Structure 1
Amino acid sequence: MVAMPDTRPPGDTRYFRRLMGTDVDQALAFFTGDYDFRTPRVRRTRPQAHWDFAGVGDERLSLRSSRFLVDLRSDSRVDDEFVVAWMRSGSSTLTHDGTSYDLEPGVPVVLPFAAAYELHHRDIALNLVHLDAAFVRSVVGEDDFAFEPMRRPSAEGMRTWQSVVRAYSSTWLDVDHGLTESSQRDIAEAFASAAIAAFPQRDRWRSAVTGSGPEHERLRRALEYVHEHARDAIGTPEIAAAAGLSPRGLQQSLRRHLDQTPGDLLRSVRLDGARADLVRADRDETSVADVARAWGFGHLGRFSATYRARFGELPSESLRSR
């Protein structure tokens, strides 16, 4: 195993690690420190195994690349960081919450957070971005914020993420040129904001609907439709049709399981979306009225009153807090 010296300039708080080797046990010991491999099982795929790792990071952000040329199966878990990963080569299947996902070359996803998952890597090479969870939550303004794991970004989200990766990676990885604390924070915030914009967020309603019967599945389809189309001009008929229910059936199901009307549900989802946009917006480029209109609130006064009743502050206060 070869460890390269830390060459960061004085005053730069980034760390730099680069390691490589052929010893599988050393590789497992190293990767387990960051990814909590549990009961790893390794099968060689070539006469001599190879692994390498390079990473530059601070307490908020780490950019990493890794390669492990073996067949590896293990359970894993990361509790304090959101990890965005995309595969350069090889193949990988991750199983989380009973569903298996095959990583696609070049397509980034957020790995499961604070939950165990199974991985099966085969001659894998990965790029990874680690973001401190507390830092991301401070950017969002929500203490319980989390991403929906293993969901690929939309086309627009992909462009947003790739734009930030291209714009800042070379600067961050160049440890021979120092960065000030403010520059480090700006780059970390750019990555966090891009991730928030690009990747689906964990839907709280998933845990609100318990049960596995046909009615529960229809209700989940209704909720999924609302979350995906909350910016659109939708109402009870559209939601009911998406769920395969009559409007009256939708009303009864929502009342029975969530104690809400379709209007309550739609308004709640729109308010959450508006708040997310406000707390991460640039106040010099965004107005409360713009955000309200984008989320289907046509009357600014009523929007402000409803927003304050829900969140305990005016929309303008959420925007200023950024």
Structure 2
Amino acid sequence: MQHSFLASESDPESDSDTSPLLGSASSTASTVPVRKVTVSGDDPATARQNYERAYDGSRFTVTRGTEPFSFQWVSIGDDRVSLRTATMTGHVTGETPGLTDYVVSWVTTGGGWIVRRDGQRMEIPRHPFVLPFRRPYTVHLTPHRQNSVLFSAPYLEDIATEIHAGPSQQVSFDLEATPTPEAIERWRVALNASTPVLTDETAPPLLRMNAQRPLALALLQLAPWAVVDLPEPLREPSMARTRLAVEYLHHHAAEPITPADAAKAAGLHTRTLQLHCRRELGMSPTAYLRDIRLDRTRRELADSSPQETTVGEVAKRWGFVHLGRFASAYRNRFGEGPSQTLRG
């Protein structure tokens, strides 16, 4: 994906802004609706400081490559969506405690990888992919040109309610899924259409908002996702592995998995996951997985009709063998029987 939405400045030093970079799209209203920041230079120490600010990270190192060293950051955006292009002829490594924005990124030259807390290594591809949200990871970049689109959490989570029809909640993307060619094309089309508006500092607010929404919807079609209502303690960096296990249950609920599989995927002992789930969620991971499957069953019944399917067929698809027990658990959770949901 060769699209580059923020071109290099002809003379970056002439209007360079040395204030902290727009590393995130603030969730609060900004006094300046749209802000453009350009930072560039030939000093690795300055580059390191700016990468640490942008990633809200630590222990960043920047080393020279074979080419004369230079770097440039260009970022433009408002409190909902920001576009960012980073170019560097050196190598970068560093740690981030977890992004607080939803970020889609890709490289047009060079490459690199990230390593999640669970040890999973993910190559940074040429096609758009979603970076880990609120999960610690380390980043490694070779000399590169990297594009990113940042969505503030409240904004994207509100847009997602148009799809899942529930309250605004954290969106958990399946980071192991590879975007389909169709999803990448939808993203490309949306990005190309919105970029002229989003990079125009004089664009009227309504026009800007109408350019942002299709891009947010394209992100929500880029990778599988689920909404996860997590209590605040599970959002802390120290609970990253437990959070990863809980998200695993959401992403793989349609598969024949157990809590032990989720614990293994997150690098936890099953007993630790059980203790944390009982303490923070008020139930065992087995009960939590059952509730996820009940919720998916309800969604499928609500989207169907008696002419299309039966309660028994949907229940069995979600692993409920004993229909009497299923109906009882369903009524206890939703206050109505599954047949009522199917009839609408």
TM range (shorter): 0.5 to 0.7
Structure-2 change in CA distance of 1:34 and 1:135 (3 Å)? same
Alpha-carbon deviation of 1:135? Answer: 0.8
Structure-2 change in CA distance of 1:261 and 1:81 (3 Å)? closer
| SS of structure 2 residue aligned to 1:194 | helix
Alpha-carbon deviation of 1:200? Answer: 2.2
Alpha-carbon deviation of 1:168? Answer: 0.9
Unpaired segments ≥5 residues, structure 2: 1-11, 18-30, 162-167, 231-240, 258-283, 315-329, 337-344
Q: Is the 8 A contact 1:148 1:203 kept in 2?
A: no
Residue 144 (str. 1) matches residue 180 (str. 2): no
Indicate the residue corresponding to 2:15 in structure 1.
4
Choose from 279, 288, 295 the match for 1:268.
295
Residue 116 (str. 1) matches residue 143 (str. 2): no
Deviation track 1:164-223 (CA, whole Å, cap 9, x = no partner) reads 111111222133xx2222222222222211111222225759969979xxxxxxxx8997
Residue 88 (str. 1) matches residue 108 (str. 2): yes
Indicate the residue corresponding to 2:121 in structure 1.
100
| SS of structure 1 residue aligned to 2:51 | helix
Indicate the residue corresponding to 1:180 in structure 2.
204
Q: Alpha carbon RMSD of aligned pairs, Å?
A: 4.0
Residue 156 (str. 1) matches residue 182 (str. 2): yes
Choose from 252, 275, 283 the match for 1:224.
252
Give runs of aligned pairs for residues 54-69 of structure 1, distance below 5 A. 54-69=74-89
| SS of structure 2 residue aligned to 1:226 | coil
Q: Percent of counterpart pairs with the same letter?
A: 17
| SS of structure 2 residue aligned to 1:165 | helix
| SS of structure 2 residue aligned to 1:145 | strand
- Structure 1 distance, partners of 2:295, 2:185, is 29
Alpha-carbon deviation of 1:84? Answer: 0.5
TM-score by length of 1: 0.64
Choose from 50, 54, 59 the match for 1:34.
54
Q: Is the 8 A contact 1:292 1:298 kept in 2?
A: no
Unpaired segments ≥5 residues, structure 1: 212-219, 228-238, 241-255, 275-287, 313-322
Structure-2 change in CA distance of 1:261 and 1:123 (3 Å)? closer
Indicate the residue corresponding to 2:286 in structure 1.
258
Indicate the residue corresponding to 1:133 in structure 2.
153
Indicate the residue corresponding to 1:247 in structure 2.
none
Alpha-carbon deviation of 1:37? Answer: 2.9
Structure-2 change in CA distance of 1:12 and 1:181 (3 Å)? farther
Choose from 18, 27, 35 the match for 1:15.
35
Aligned length: 248
Alpha-carbon deviation of 1:113? Answer: 1.1
Alpha-carbon deviation of 1:298? Answer: 6.4
- Structure 2 distance, partners of 1:127, 1:209, is 26
Deviation track 1:127-168 (CA, whole Å, cap 9, x = no partner) reads 100000111111123222232336432233212211211111
| SS of structure 1 residue aligned to 2:93 | strand
Alpha-carbon deviation of 1:32? Answer: 1.7
| SS of structure 2 residue aligned to 1:2 | helix
Q: Is the 8 A contact 1:53 1:64 kept in 2?
A: yes
Q: Is the 8 A contact 2:13 2:40 kept in 1?
A: yes
Which residue identity does 1:117 align to in structure 2?
Y
Give runs of aligned pairs for residues 281-300 of structure 1, distance below 5 A. 291-292=303-304
| SS of structure 2 residue aligned to 1:188 | helix
- Structure 2 distance, partners of 1:21, 1:34, is 16
| SS of structure 2 residue aligned to 1:18 | strand
Alpha-carbon deviation of 1:21? Answer: 1.2
